[in-house]
Amino acid sequence: MQILDGIKLSKEIKNEIKLKVESYKEQGKRAPHLGAILVGNDGASRTYVDNKIKDCKFVGFESSELILDDTISQEELISKIKEWNNDANLDGFIVQLPLPKHIDQEAVINAIDPDKDVDGFHPMNFGKMALEMETFLPATPYGIMEMLERYNVPTAGKHTVVIGRSRIVGRPMSILMSKNGNPGNSTVTITHSKTEDLAKYTKEADIVITALGVPEFLKADMVKDGVVIVDVGITRVDDPSSPKGFKLAGDVDFENVKEKASWITPVPGGVGPMTRAMLLKNTLLAYNRNNK
């Protein structure tokens, strides 16, 4: 069993980006610029945006954040997005999800300029991904693909089972793993809450990518020997022995499943750090497009 180490790999990627930014500055060019819009005061979202700002500082990006009250109207939020769409010095930005219930998430995503949509959620970018055209890939699937490529995990001709069909992870993963390329060229089965006898599919899988959000759902008796496991799930679970009173658990029963796996991502320290690194790579792509 070998670990797919997202912490180590994300550091390598950030150092690569840092060197590129330094070379741009030596040429007299401005630094890439990433923005984040946060609506409300959700603790997890706040932490995520703070980490993105730290990442920007490390690689030499400019960063901007706009924190808006959770009572803001949808029209006011879209007006702010349009201002950022028209800011020539801002290469890309994200609107942190989830949004308050009175705001239509789809309307907000559609309001973002596709050329600045570094989250890769706009329908135009999603469509380009499906057509295997260059575009901004959703950061978590992008991170998984980068991880499989850099660790030389074979995917061609393999049977990949994806658990979950969200637009953020499951559905993009099913598209990317079946694309003509490396990684890719897998035969993909996408499973979800309505799948009957889900274990029947996971037992046959060469690669399992799970984004369910149910702690330790995937047990050792649900997978075969030599399986590759990518665990996207991350849930707080009560743990009296921890100083924080909780631990972070993935979708996979890691201690038991690792005995059968050839490769496996830990939680935390697997997919999460790669997601943040890929947002930087998408911003770099946006910057290079702007500076052609």
Q: Please say whether the beta carbons of 208 and 218 come within 8 A.
A: yes
Q: Is the dihedral of CA 222, 2, 276, 171 positive or negative?
A: negative
Tokens of 6: 């997202």
Is there a binding annotation on residue 109?
Answer: no
Tokens of 8: 């180590």
**Backbone φ/ψ region at 145: left (φ over 0), alpha (ψ -120 to 50), beta:** alpha
Is there a binding annotation on residue 181?
Answer: no
Question: Beta strands 159-163 and 62-68: pairing type?
Answer: unpaired
Is there a binding annotation on residue 78?
Answer: no
Is there a binding annotation on residue 112?
Answer: no
Q: Distance from CA of residue 79 to its chain's centroid?
A: 27
What are the catalytic residues? 52, 96, 119
Cβ neighbour number for residue 6 with a 10 Å cutoff: 25
Q: CA-CA distance, 174 to 170, in Å (whole number)?
A: 6
Tell me which residue of 32, 48, 43 sits closest to 273, measured CA to CA. 48
Q: CA-CA distance, 32 to 283, in Å (whole number)?
A: 7
Q: CA-CA distance, 253 to 239, in Å (whole number)?
A: 16
Q: How far apart are the first and last CA of the chain?
A: 44
Q: Give, in order, the Cα–Cα distances in Å from 233 to each of 25, 57, 129.
A: 38, 28, 23
- Tell me how many degrees the CA angle 51-66-6 measures, rounded to the nearest 5: 20
Digitized pLDDT (tens) for each residue of the chain, 292 residues in all? 999 999 999 999 999 999 999 999 999 999 999 999 999 988 888 888 899 999 999 999 999 999 999 999 999 999 999 999 999 999 999 999 999 999 999 999 999 999 999 999 999 999 999 999 999 999 999 999 999 999 999 999 999 999 999 999 999 999 999 999 999 999 999 999 999 999 999 999 999 999 999 999 999 999 999 999 999 999 989 999 989 889 999 999 999 999 999 999 999 999 999 999 999 999 999 999 988 7
